[in-house]
Structure 1
């Protein structure tokens, strides 16, 4: 599956395929942002399979740097899939995921259905 634009509850979301280029660093995040702007997306949904383990190791600062890049460009980022393996290994990551999910810019969600529900309740 390639990256495609979908409308979830009326919100344009660039839905990334699991088979796409892994997000290893800020360069790939910038590529995703460029693709989002090209398609007019307000959100980017990235499957957990596209993120390297470094993303989930907060000491690498990769997750924070990528999240900040999305904030700067006012594009939401949704990480879709099971992150429990990573969360079980790190209290700091568990806290990061919990706090992110309380906000409106970075969400860790199970799937597109959960993203659709969150967007519906976001009170745009």
Structure 2
């Protein structure tokens, strides 16, 4: 399935294809933001599309990507199982915990969990 715009819990979401191109640079993130300008309020990106450097906080890649979405007033949902990365990094666990308490960047297990978050914030 290609990236596609979906109405989820009353919100326009750009749901990205798990087999799509990797998000390995800030430009890759900007490309997703550009695609979202067709009307999306949220961009749901499968966790497996992120380069491993995203989950290694010392690279600052995650922070740079997250900040881009905040700057463009788009919500970012990282969708999928990141338990292996969480097991390796207390800093990542803290980032995920804090992000999930806010309204801009969420780490969710699947699209159903994203729908629940969207309904809760409506």
TM-score band w.r.t. shorter chain: over 0.9
Return the alpha-carbon distance in structure 2 between the equivalents of residues 71 and 121 of structure 1: 20
- Tell me what 2:53 maps to: 54
- Tell me what 1:9 maps to: 9
Return the alpha-carbon distance in structure 2 between the equivalents of residues 21 and 30 of structure 1: 13
Return the alpha-carbon distance in structure 2 between the equivalents of residues 109 and 101 of structure 1: 8
- Tell me what 2:44 maps to: 45
Gaps of 5+ in 1: none
- Structure 1 ranges of 4+ moved more than 6 A: none
Mapping 1:1-124, distance limit 5 Å:
1-37=1-37, 39-123=38-122
Gaps of 5+ in 2: none
Return the alpha-carbon distance in structure 2 between the equivalents of residues 49 and 7 of structure 1: 23
Return the alpha-carbon distance in structure 1 between the equivalents of residues 120 and 86 of structure 2: 25
Report the CA distance between 1:19 and its aligned residue: 0.6
Report the CA distance between 1:25 and its aligned residue: 1.2
Summarize deviations over 1:38-90 as a string: whole Å, max 9, x none: x2000000001100100000000000000000000000000000011000000
Partner SS for 1:121: helix
Partner SS for 2:65: helix
Aligned length: 122
